Structure 1
């Protein structure tokens, strides 16, 4: 792949008990970067976690929802993933402005085991 990822953007974890989960990762040295009533981005060094309130139709609490890889050129990466025939599960490239100041453009596709992989380009 020409437009390879340049690093890990974040790991998303659905939480059965949102407050307890956020507090647990805070105790491990993670600091909240962005906090909403239903989701939180935490940081420790160059590692980011996205903790969100689990919805009943989603995976069990604690299961990793997706792995997000950082991209320097999201448009080229998207074209290449589509050309390679991978299944994109988002509506093309989407934008997530609610996590400002870490707003990003992203898309999610399926890996060979139906794992969800996100490519994200942070503004």
Structure 2
């Protein structure tokens, strides 16, 4: 078992063909816009966060969960542990994006035993 375990679910990611409909649907369920980049963003209702983004036709069916993101305080150490256990890393190492700009979102993804994608992530201050 790894030492640098996740501390909670960061978000669940859902590809969509209709971002406006997706946002409207989840707002009706009580979610608010946490991050809004037009066709992609994040919605939050209390501790539950949903990421939505345009579906890539050849890769993902719309509406299906794409990955489960787990927060991890010691991301670099966890990456080394996951790598050492032989899990299939499906990102280019630890990557980053500006989803929460000006803070940086650092993450890596690997495959679970059923083909599911697991993301470990940390938002740097």
In structure 1, the partner of 2:50 is 49
1:101 offset after TM fit, Å?
5.1
Please list the CA deviations of residues 4-47 of structure 1 after superposition, one character each: whole Å capped at 9, or x if unmatched.
Answer: 10000000001121110111001111110111122011111111
Question: Unpaired runs of 5+ in structure 1?
Answer: none
Name the TM-score, length of structure 2 as normaliser.
0.93
In structure 1, the partner of 2:93 is 92
- Cα RMSD (Å): 1.2
Q: Say whether the 8 Å CA contact 1:66–1:116 is kept in structure 2.
A: yes
* Runs of 4+ residues over 3 Å off in structure 1: none
Q: Say whether the 8 Å CA contact 1:89–1:109 is kept in structure 2.
A: yes
1:102 offset after TM fit, Å?
5.8
Aligned residues: 123
1:12-91 matched pairs, under 5 angstroms: 12-91=13-92
Distance 1:39 1:114, change over 3 A: same
1:96 offset after TM fit, Å?
1.0
Q: Give SS of 2:41's match.
A: strand
In structure 1, the partner of 2:117 is 116
Name the TM-score, length of structure 1 as normaliser.
0.94
Counterparts of 1:24 and 1:93 in 2: how far apart (Å)?
33
